[in-house]
Every structure is written in C-alpha cells, then in structure tokens.
C-alpha cells in the first residue's frame, strides 16, 4: 500500500480572502509541510517584496498554531483537518487508487450504494457520472448487448440507454435504421438522373465547342424563292459585304436560249399585243 503514496501527498494553492490579495501555496510531502506566500499589493513599499517559504516537519506543524491558523483562514477548516490527518499517518488509500481499479470496485455495488459513494468526493462523483461506469453497468445487467445498442450509446450515452425502457429503445433503434437507409439512398445516384446530367453536360460542351453563329455572315435570300416560313432563309437578313465589289466585273447573267425557243416567245408576245377583235373568231365573242 505504501507504493500508492505519491509525492506530494497533497497540495493546494489560491488567493487569500478579501481584501487580502496574497497568493498562498500548501504542500504536504512524505516528510515535510511546505507553506509559500507571495504578497501582491499596489503599495510602493511592497513592490519589491519577494515570495516567502516555510518548511516544517510533521511534528512542528502540529505544534505550530500560527501556521495552522493561516492555513485555516486561507483554505478552510476541512483542509486544515485533512493536512493534520496526513501528518498523523492517516492516509486515505481509497482516494489514491487508479480509476480503473475504483471502477472495478464500484461495479460490485448496487446503484444506490454507488450513488452514495459518488456524494463523498468529487473524484467519486466524476467516476459515477462517467461513461465507463454506466457502460459496465449496462453490460452487467444485460446478458447481451448488440452492436446497434452500442452504436446508439455513443450518441445518447450509456446512462440514457440503461434508464430507457425496452419499448422506447426499440423505437429509437428503428428510427435510427430508417435514417441510415434514407442516407444510403441519397448517396446512391439515380440512373435516370445521372443520364440526364450527362446529356446536359454533353450538350453544353457541344454548344461551347461549336462555332459562334453570330460571327457567320448572313446570306441574302433570293426574292424569287418566296417568303414562306420554314424555308431556312431570313428575309430580313442582309449581307454586310457587297456581292459585287467591282462594278466592271459584274455583268448581267443570261441563260443560253435556242433559236426555236426565241421564236416561240416572240409569237406569244405578238398574240398578246393583238386587238381583242382579232383574238375573237367565229362570232363567239359577239355572242357573248
């Protein structure tokens, strides 16, 4: 048990009660009592004051009422009583045990007894409220703990799992499963959506990589072709470039026509130019 005694056995520090602003330090080692102070003051005469230190043996401390009075004034009566008990060889070995060993001891206690033990000191209260204690409590009271319950305990805590009824625990697990399934569905892409996205990207790439239609010259349509819509021509378009930049080189374009064809054309023109009387024959026009 002597190996559990660390050096120092106990130490505490703090500022004295108002209006005192002096800083104090108390340490109980395996053989000495160390008392230090550092006076903090705005007065000019105290600015160069150096920290003080006093070392006494256990017996000297027990016989020094002045030092005991200062310890009681600064840190309280309970600190003085604990320091005197250490000087008299009354060591608290339970407080000096490691946390793992204390948790192992607490595992054999009932919950009411463990709660009462947690009220004795801050350290036991911290152990009683720790996840390690409630995790081993759940494993001790339950024959088997599934992986889902262990995963849920990481989110809500082992204490909440222990005090939750089986019905409520099943509801929490089912909700957690549904939530995980929904998240998996959101992570898996839809094939149709993926195809549409790829088509949109490809069309966008074609649009970007294709020629700029605004930069192409506009073609003047032939008026003889008509102005019907859907022919592929814009009748309001124009060509900024002159189709005949050199007037001398532009000549009227004629089609080659044979002699017989010219005679037929002239004959048709003569018939059109004849008077109406000549066009009427056989008295049909007069009858009309």
Q: Which of 219, 215, 214 is nearest to 241 (CA)?
A: 219
pLDDT of residue 259: 55
pLDDT of residue 271: 56
pLDDT of residue 176: 78
Q: Which residue is listed with tokens 């549409």?
A: 196
Residues 240, 217: contact at Cβ < 8 Å?
yes
pLDDT of residue 251: 45
The per-residue DSSP string of 63-125 comes to T-HHHHHHHHHHH-HHHHHHHHHHHTT---HHHHS-HHHHHHHHTTS-HHHHHHHHTT-HHHH
Q: Which two tokens stand for residue 118?
A: 């947690």
Phi/psi of residue 69, nearest 5 degrees: -65, -40
Residues 37, 52: contact at Cβ < 8 Å?
yes
Q: Which residue is listed with tokens 């088509």?
A: 199
Residues 38, 13: contact at Cβ < 8 Å?
no
Distance of CA 74 to the CA centre of its chain: 48
Dihedral sign for Cα atoms in the order 110, 112, 115, 119: negative
Q: Which of 242, 241, 222, 240 is nearest to 232 (CA)?
A: 222
Rg of the chain, C-alpha, whole Å: 54
Residues 86, 61: contact at Cβ < 8 Å?
no
pLDDT of residue 58: 95
Q: What is the mean pLDDT of each run of 10 residues along the chain (288 residues)?
A: 78 89 93 92 77 94 95 94 93 84 90 90 90 87 79 82 80 80 74 59 52 48 47 41 45 49 58 50 46
Q: Which residue is listed with tokens 């120092």?
A: 8
Q: What SS3 class is residue 34?
A: strand
List of long-range contacts for 106-109, beta carbons under 8 Å, 24+ apart:
106/133, 107/133, 107/136, 107/137, 107/140
| Gap between the Cα atoms of 40 and 259, Å rounded | 133
DSSP letter (8 states) at residue 107: T
Q: Which two tokens stand for residue 121?
A: 């000191």
């Amino acid at each position: 048990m002597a190996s559990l005694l660390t050096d120092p056995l106990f130490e505490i520090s703090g500022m004295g009660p108002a209006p005192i602003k002096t800083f104090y330090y108390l340490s109980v080692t395996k053989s000495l009592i160390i008392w230090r102070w550092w006076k903090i003051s705005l007065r000019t005469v105290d600015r160069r004051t150096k920290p003080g230190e006093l070392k006494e043996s256990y017996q000297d401390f027990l016989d020094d009422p002045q030092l005991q009075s200062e310890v009681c004034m600064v840190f309280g009566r309970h600190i003085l009583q604990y320091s005197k008990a250490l000087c008299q060889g009354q060591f608290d070995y339970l407080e000096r045990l490691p946390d793992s060993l204390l948790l192992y001891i607490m595992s054999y206690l009932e919950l009411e007894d463990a709660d009462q033990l947690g009220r004795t000191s801050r350290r036991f209260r911290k152990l009683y409220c720790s996840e390690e204690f409630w995790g081993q409590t759940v494993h001790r009271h339950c024959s088997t703990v599934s992986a889902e319950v262990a995963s849920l305990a990481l989110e809500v805590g082992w204490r909440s799992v222990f005090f939750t009824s089986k019905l409520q625990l099943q509801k929490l697990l089912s909700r957690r499963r549904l939530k995980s399934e929904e998240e998996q569905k959101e992570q898996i892409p839809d094939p149709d959506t993926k195809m549409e996205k790829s088509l949109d990207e490809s069309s966008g790439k074609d649009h970007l990589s294709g020629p700029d239609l605004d930069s192409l010259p506009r073609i003047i349509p032939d008026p003889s072709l008509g102005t019907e819509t859907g022919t592929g021509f814009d009748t309001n378009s124009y060509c900024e470039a002159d189709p005949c930049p050199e007037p001398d080189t532009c000549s009227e374009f004629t089609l080659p026509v044979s002699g017989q064809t010219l005679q037929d054309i002239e004959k048709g023109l003569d018939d059109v130019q004849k008077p109406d009387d000549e066009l009427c024959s056989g008295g049909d026009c007069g009858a009309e």
